[in-house]
Amino acid sequence: MAHATSHGSGASHGTLRSYLTGFVLAVLLTGLAFGLVMSHALPTSTTFTIIFVAAAVQMLVHLRSFLHLDASSAQRWNLAALAFTVVIIVLVIGGSVWIMFNLRGRTMGETRPAATQITTSTAPAAHF
Amino acid sequence: MSTSTTTIDDLFPDELFSPADGHGDHDPEANVAFGFWAYLMSDCLLFATLFATFVVFSGSFAGGPTGRQLFDLGGTLKETMLLLTSSITCGFAILGMQRQARRHVMGWLAVTFLLGLGFVAMEVSEFAHMVAIGAGPDRSAFLSGFFTLVATHGLHVMAGLVWMLVMMGQVSFKGLSEPVCSRLRRFSMFWHFLDIVWIGVFTVVYLKGSL
């Protein structure tokens, strides 16, 4: 029949149950993150950590429940591609943040307000 | 695929790619799904570069408004719920497709379309408001990064809306044939992927920016 050939990898079959479970978990995690930030209930650094952990967990929930990604052999190549992508994402974002904030610390550390000292013709851009 | 004498299949036999269970690569649907997955992963990398740019510029207000002054988290929460709900209604359309329930598919696709349209409408009005109060992309590096990242996601959602209209047309006129079902599965992957990117956007841009 129409769906008899689609047992392989990729968007494999979900069930109503898996969609609903994923949806409830996603709503709870979203609510937790927004609630913490909007209520200022916890110290900023704690909230910061929690919202980023909640986001990571919610992404996993979506991958599992909505995109039906799992550890089965049929999904091996999808998982391999995802793992490779995650490595690149960590390198791109982590590397950029590390380099640029390090540079900012070195070049604009104590003379931050005195940007006018750098009297180049590209002064507006020096506000980086 | 090919029936010619020396094919790429001779050089790269299927066993090379699926040593364990062997049936995966004989399933064209699985290959198409993997190809589309590869596109989604490359799109992930596009977003990663935009996230990196945004984060680097996230403190560069140039004397202009900060995220805390600009963002209305209540509105962002509504946008988030619209997109999240559209993700599950898209899933319901796929469940209907598996049962060959055409009206079910059309109905849930229509609901998904309206939720996605609501998301885009909220985002466009947010952008229009920001530009109107002088907080457009030209105001500061922070706002350039903001508009580039968030609008790129918004454009993806708009592309998804167009795709959805095309699919509703195909379901109406062609029925739930195997090619149409295959496209619907690709579409659902795309739509769920956009929701995952949005988790990153609301966390990195809106929530962190409002801390």
- In this structure, what CATH number is given to the domain that contains residue B182? 1.20.120.80
Please determine, for residue A2, whether its predicted confidence score (pLDDT) is greater than 60: no
Cβ of A85 within 8 Å of Cβ of B45? The answer is: yes
Q: Which pLDDT does position A61 carry in this prediction?
A: 96
B144 in contact with A, Cβ within 8 Å:
no
The total of structural domains in chain B comes to: 1
The answer as to whether B36 is a domain residue is yes
Q: Which pLDDT does position A65 carry in this prediction?
A: 93
Q: Which pLDDT does position A73 carry in this prediction?
A: 76
Q: Using CA atoms, how far apart are residues A19 and A86, in angstroms rounded to an integer?
A: 24
Q: How confident is the model at residue A10 (pLDDT cuts 50, 70, 90)?
A: very low
The answer as to whether B123 is a domain residue is yes
Q: What is the domain extent for residue B50? A: 28-210
Which is nearest to B41 in space by CA: A94, A52, A67? A67
B175 in contact with A, Cβ within 8 Å:
no
Q: What is the mean pLDDT of residues A57-62?
A: 96
Q: What is the mean pLDDT of residues A14-32?
A: 95
The answer as to whether B110 is a domain residue is yes
Q: Which residue of B has its CA nearest to A74?
A: B24
% of chain A surpassing 90 pLDDT: 59
Please determine, for residue A5, whether its predicted confidence score (pLDDT) is greater than 90: no
A23 in contact with B, Cβ within 8 Å:
yes
Q: How confident is the model at residue A9 (pLDDT cuts 50, 70, 90)?
A: very low
Please determine, for residue A126, whether its predicted confidence score (pLDDT) is greater than 60: no
Q: Which pLDDT does position B119 carry in this prediction?
A: 98
What's the ipTM? 0.85
The answer as to whether B22 is a domain residue is no
Q: How confident is the model at residue A72 (pLDDT cuts 50, 70, 90)?
A: confident
Residue ranges, chain B, pLDDT below 50:
1-3, 17-24
pTM (2 decimals)?
A: 0.83
Interface of A with B in 64-123 (CB under 8 A): 66-67, 73-74, 76-78, 81-82, 84-85, 88-89, 92-93, 96-97, 100-101
Q: Which residue of A has its CA nearest to B196?
A: A59
A42 in contact with B, Cβ within 8 Å:
no
Q: Which residue of A has its CA nearest to B47?
A: A89
Facing residue for A88 by CB, picked from B48, B97, B176? B48
Q: Which pLDDT does position A120 carry in this prediction?
A: 45
Question: What is the pLDDT of chain A when averaged over all its residues?
Answer: 81
Q: A interface mutation test: which of B56, B83, B193 has the most A CBs within 10 A?
A: B56
B8 in contact with A, Cβ within 8 Å:
no
Q: Which pLDDT does position B134 carry in this prediction?
A: 94
